[in-house]
Chains A and B, each alone.
Chain A
Amino acid sequence: DAKTTQPNSMESNEEEPVHLPCNHSTISGTDYIHWYRQLPSQGPEYVIHGLTSNVNNRMASLAIAEDRKSSTLILHRATLRDAAVYYCILESSGAGSYQLTFGKGTKLSVIP
């Protein structure tokens, strides 16, 4: 599976937008980009995923670079509840692909 690179940690002020970057220079044409987050003492929670086009949902937006070698998770207005570890994960859409490989993620701190 292709690898992703994320900063270890980031800080944001409450109520400001947050842009969480992810590099995936070895992504293949069939790899989906998934984002999950993990709040303290909880299991991971799905945030968003996409293939080529930018995606929006009620939680966040996913901006995918034109060459797909990087992507950015955008939280439009950070709240204290958004403080978590955010994981960027690639998954092949090929037949028999059932695995997600979690790295260490980015720990987001939100400052009141």
Chain B
Amino acid sequence: NAGVTQTPKFQVLKTGQSMTLQCAQDMNHNSMYWYRQDPGMGLRLIYYSASEGTTDKGEVPNGYNVSRLNKREFSLRLESAAPSQTSVYFCASREQSNQPQHFGDGTRLSIL
């Protein structure tokens, strides 16, 4: 009963390093999402994939890229990490629009 699994749970990077955050869901959902959450704030959408083979920008896409590897997996890549990207990153999935989103436990990323 894994649901949405994110790896890693914690990561510390130096400015300029690159990194890929992994997300996998086992619910056969069509849509997947990446959000970031800064302290005391709500979640902001970075990118989403409405269905396998498609990706679209959300509210804050700059500095990130995504890959919908297959129906299960949706990765988020930071090509050149910046301190402003220090945040908690959440992946989510759902069957279709207006259905509940299921979230992972998050990746806590610090960039020094």
Q: Is A21 an interface residue (CB 8 A)?
A: no
A91 & B106 in contact (Cβ 8 Å cutoff): no
Alpha-carbon gap, A103 to B59, bound state (A): 13
Alpha-carbon gap, A87 to B37, bound state (A): 13
Instruction: Return chain B residues, CB-CB under 8 Å to A76.
Output: none
B102 & A98 in contact (Cβ 8 Å cutoff): no
B100 & A46 in contact (Cβ 8 Å cutoff): yes
Of the candidates B43, B45, B56, B92, the one having the most CB atoms from chain A within 10 angstroms of its own CB is B43
Partner of A98, one of B31, B100, B106: B31
Chain A residue at minimal CB-CB distance from B103:
A43
Partner of B102, one of A32, A46, A49, A103: A46
B43 nearest CB across to chain A (Å): 4
B103 & A87 in contact (Cβ 8 Å cutoff): no
Using a Cβ cutoff of 8 Å, how many contacts connect chains A and B? 52
Q: Is B48 an interface residue (CB 8 A)?
A: yes
Alpha-carbon gap, A105 to B43, bound state (A): 10
Alpha-carbon gap, A79 to B110, bound state (A): 34
Instruction: Return chain A residues, CB-CB under 8 Å to B92.
Output: 43-44
Residues 95-110 of B, flagged 1 when their CB comes within 8 A of A and 0 if not, give 0011011111110000
Residues 86 to 102 of chain A near chain B (Cβ within 8 Å)? 87, 91, 93, 96-102
Given A100-B45, A102-B42, A102-B44, A43 and B90 contact (CB-CB distance below 8 Å): yes
Instruction: Return chain B residues, CB-CB under 8 Å to A32.
Output: 98
Using CB atoms and an 8 Å cutoff, list the residues of chain B in contact with chain A.
Answer: 4, 31, 35, 40-45, 48, 50, 56, 58-59, 90, 92, 97-98, 100-106
Using CB atoms and an 8 Å cutoff, list the residues of chain A in contact with chain B.
Answer: 32, 34, 36, 42-46, 49, 87, 91, 93, 96-105
The 9 closest A-B CB pairs, nearest first, are A43-B103, A102-B42, A46-B100, A102-B43, A98-B50, A32-B98, A43-B90, A44-B103, A103-B42
